Structure 1
Amino acid sequence: MNDEKNNSQLEKEKKSNKPNRLRFKGLMNTLAGGIIGSVLTITILPQTNFFEVAFSSSPLTAEQASSQSSQTNAVTVQKTAAGSGDAASASVIADMVEESSKSIVGIVNMQTQTENFRFSNGENNRSEAVESGSGTGVIYKINDKNAFIVTNNHVIEGAQEIAVTVYGGEKTTAELVGADPLTDIAVLKIDAKYVTAALEFGDSSTLRAGDTVLAIGNPLGLDLSNTVTQGIVSAVDRTVSVSTSAGNWDLNVIQTDAAINPGNSGGALVNTTGQVIGMNSLKIAEDGVEGLGFAIPSNDLVPIINEIMEKGQVERPYIGVGLANLEEVPQMYTQNLPNEIEGGVMVTNIDPGSAAAKAGLQVQDVIVSINDRKVENSADLRKYLYSELEIGETASLSIYRGSEKKSIEVFLTSNNSN
């Protein structure tokens, strides 16, 4: 969909069919304004978006990681009980943290800032790279040449340069392998000479409320690098609605009371055996609210990481439209709709040559259903499109063009081909 590409009108932080999955929408309506990620943030929506490793005493050594990567490029989840080390002694935990910290990096988002100066001979501009935000990253793979880092997309989004500080304080510059703004995941790479160890991913599906977890990251910047906080898994399979640069999305997360602060975004949430079972991404920072942090589960991270490593991005079905939630559209544009139409999305722009353009969609058309699935807002449409449909399939859209109802068939192409 073109709302990933036409988000100038939108705001800027895997499947689970479990019956006990909880939704936060009511809570989010109240507390959305208090969500913070890194110094650069991703926000939990109030639904009013306008226009829109198994632990064997240490992490992987460089030699082990290199050997593993020579067999396969894909990242895997280690099927070890995530809470199996909860009874470990404090000294064992400290040993684990000390080793795990070697795989945690600091990330600084550098963006160009231009200043205007007036001299006697006229105006001159001076541009320089300045720190725009900071966060954390996790080294998860090392080969002969490179070390690969996973972090949140909102930590590095918009960066002209990505500065990385590794364990011990040495600094280097990272290259962006690829990113997925919708799921807020990015993969970076640096020269392997800067690192000595990588962390493995644990199986987040084994997590239970009450399991001990630790967050490792750089709260408030690199001055407090490798800060460790401990807590428990407060809940699994939470869903929070977030607003990203690619549109609104329902993000599956682990809830934890381990302290997470700005700068922790992209850092590791590890179990007591030293496996990464989540990536710290969000928290609620509101007066009277404590201990509400959220991490993207490792089992959701791994498929996205592997696709980014393979293709440089996540490939999804693509229609080619920009959308606005109907409730946010000025009444002058909706006055001809039937009175019974309360939900839906209005087409605000169409990518020339896209599937939508070929199918005959027009600006100001109102989409009310897709394949007979009711569409209340853009998040509904996007979730169904990305979760239920495949590239190459045809989707049937029910639309209103003024007061006239129409059915339009759209052949779904790939966002990778545009």
Structure 2
Amino acid sequence: MNRIKQAFKDRLWLGVIIVGLFAGLIGGGIRLGINNLVQHHEEVTSTRVPAGSNKSGGTKVNKNKADLNGEASQAYKSVQGAVVSVINKQKVQQSSGTLGIFGYGNSSNSSSDSSSDNKLETASEGSGVIYKKSGNSAYVVTNNHVVKGSNALQVILSNGKKVNADLVGADSATDLAVLKINATNVKTVASFGNSNSIVPGQDVLAIGSPMGSEYANTVTKGIISAKDRTLKAGTDGTLTSVIQTDAAINSGNSGGPLINMAGQVIGINSMKLASDTQGSSVEGIGFAIPSNEVVTIINQLIKNGKITRPSLGISMVDLSNVTSDQQQSVLKLPTSVSKGVVIIDVNSGSVADTAGLKKYDVITKLGDTQVTDAGSLKAALYKYKVGQNAKVTYYRDGQRHTATLHLTKSADTTSTDDSQQDNN
């Protein structure tokens, strides 16, 4: 009997436990379902676009907390009024006849002697900066390539007024030119800083008219990337020292100023590197003519209207353009000599002729400068003034010689020869 009662109690407790487990599972499921429903409702409510609208707006412009009179802004303001656009006007041949089926022909009411006339049109646009005001005249420095080939020149001042300009002088070797304009509307004149004192990493601004006068007085900011780069400038390939900057310089910026944060002109923007030797795109590599060089050149242009430099009176080719066989058989050069210039012709009575230089002599050094090609020879020669002496090192029939050049002759370097055979 006791065993039967105990078995009944055990079954009773087992039933209670099973019922409790089922109740717990059902209760947990209900709670989980309720939680999911609540979470889904919250998500829908938080992402649903609210009904109605705020018709009154209410948004406002707050006070500008940025410094509007920072160093760069002050530098720009101090020079901006002196920066101009330079317009190169050239003659274009135009027909005054009527356009027929086979081209232009004389109209019935036009005379035969008026079938064509010359009209000035804008050939190119560049930039410049006013650096001097004297009496009724003001002077603008720009690039030679900006004004090259012009039949007339115009300058657009910072206030938008257009004035005529006269070319005072130009120098292709340094790619600089000076223009003269009426000073009546000139209010601001830029000043030059010492380009020898600049350092890489220094902040600079480039100001000009990129892509033409439509974007006049555009300012871009960058740094000095390198103080002294050597590049071939002008049409004669003369080597020159330039400032490298990453301030954006585009077509039309040529002739505009590169300024420091004190508003001083430390260079005249001249060119940019558009692609490397593999043809890939290059960004952030622009060049400016150092202000110290600019001042030296423009002072001479104002005084004389041109730049006169020493001339050797020779025609020459780079030694690298002479075959190895000819270097050995004709020039008889030692194998240690691989760079220099070969004299092709010597003008009678010239500086080179007086010093005893002859055809097929190979110049390898001028003064303390190694001569590697015609550009480096001209760069070394142009460091001297007419009247000075210079020591030249050359090879003749395989033997090394030196001579003293008395630089008594000069040449006007505003015009140059683009042919492979250089003259100097």
TM over 0.5: yes
Where in structure 2 are the equivalents of 1:3-14 lying within 5 Å?
none
Separation in 1 of the partners of 2:304 and 2:361?
Answer: 33
Structure 1 residues 158, 401: closer, same or farther in 2, change over 3 A?
farther
Q: Does 1:267 align with 2:252?
A: no
Structure 1 residues 118, 401: closer, same or farther in 2, change over 3 A?
farther
Structure 1 residues 114, 284: closer, same or farther in 2, change over 3 A?
same
Structure 1 residues 411, 271: closer, same or farther in 2, change over 3 A?
closer
Q: Deviations over 1:12-47 (max 9, x none)?
A: xxxxxxxxxxxxxxxxxxxxxxxxxxxxxxxxxxxx
Structure 1 residues 367, 115: closer, same or farther in 2, change over 3 A?
farther
Separation in 1 of the partners of 2:120 and 2:177?
Answer: 21
Structure 1 residues 367, 112: closer, same or farther in 2, change over 3 A?
farther
Where in structure 2 are the equivalents of 1:23-172 lying within 5 Å?
89-92=67-70, 93-94=72-73, 96-114=75-93, 119=105, 126-172=117-163
Separation in 1 of the partners of 2:181 and 2:214?
Answer: 22
Tell whether the 8 Å contact from 1:370 to 1:398 is kept in structure 2 after alignment. Answer: yes
CA shift for structure 1 position 195: 1.7
Letter aligned with residue 287 of structure 2: F
Where in structure 2 are the equivalents of 1:203-352 lying within 5 Å?
203-235=194-226, 237-253=227-243, 255-286=244-275, 287-329=280-322, 335-339=329-333, 340=335, 341-351=337-347
Q: For the pair shown, which has the larger CA radius of gyration, 1 or 2?
A: 2
Q: Which residue of 2 aligns with 1:380?
A: 376
Letter aligned with residue 284 of structure 1: L
SS at match of 1:342: coil
Using structure 1 for the length normalisation, give the TM-score: 0.68
- Greater RCO (CA < 8 Å, at least 6 residues apart): 1
Tell whether the 8 Å contact from 2:175 to 2:233 is kept in structure 1 after alignment. Answer: no
Separation in 2 of the partners of 1:217 and 1:369?
Answer: 40
Tell whether the 8 Å contact from 2:209 to 2:253 is kept in structure 1 after alignment. Answer: yes
Tell whether the 8 Å contact from 2:314 to 2:352 is kept in structure 1 after alignment. Answer: yes
Separation in 2 of the partners of 1:244 and 1:359?
Answer: 29
SS at match of 1:382: helix
Structure 1 residues 336, 220: closer, same or farther in 2, change over 3 A?
same
Using structure 2 for the length normalisation, give the TM-score: 0.67
CA shift for structure 1 position 189: 0.9
CA shift for structure 1 position 282: 2.1
Q: Which residue of 1 aligns with 2:410?
A: 415
Tell whether the 8 Å contact from 1:319 to 1:413 is kept in structure 2 after alignment. Answer: no
SS at match of 2:158: coil
Separation in 1 of the partners of 2:125 and 2:385?
Answer: 36
Separation in 1 of the partners of 2:178 and 2:172?
Answer: 11
SS at match of 2:255: coil
Separation in 1 of the partners of 2:402 and 2:69?
Answer: 65
* Unmatched segments (≥5 aa) in structure 1: 1-87
Q: 1:178 aligns with which of 169, 174, 178?
A: 169
CA shift for structure 1 position 317: 1.9
CA shift for structure 1 position 142: 0.8
Tell whether the 8 Å contact from 2:220 to 2:247 is kept in structure 1 after alignment. Answer: yes
Provide the identity percentage: 37
Q: Considering only aligned residues, what root-mean-square deviation do their CA atoms show, in Å?
A: 3.3
Q: Which moved more, 1:363-372 or 1:378-387?
A: 363-372
Structure 1 residues 330, 160: closer, same or farther in 2, change over 3 A?
farther
What count of residue pairs does the alignment treat as equivalent? Answer: 328
Q: Which moved more, 1:130-139 or 1:335-344?
A: 335-344
Tell whether the 8 Å contact from 2:242 to 2:287 is kept in structure 1 after alignment. Answer: no
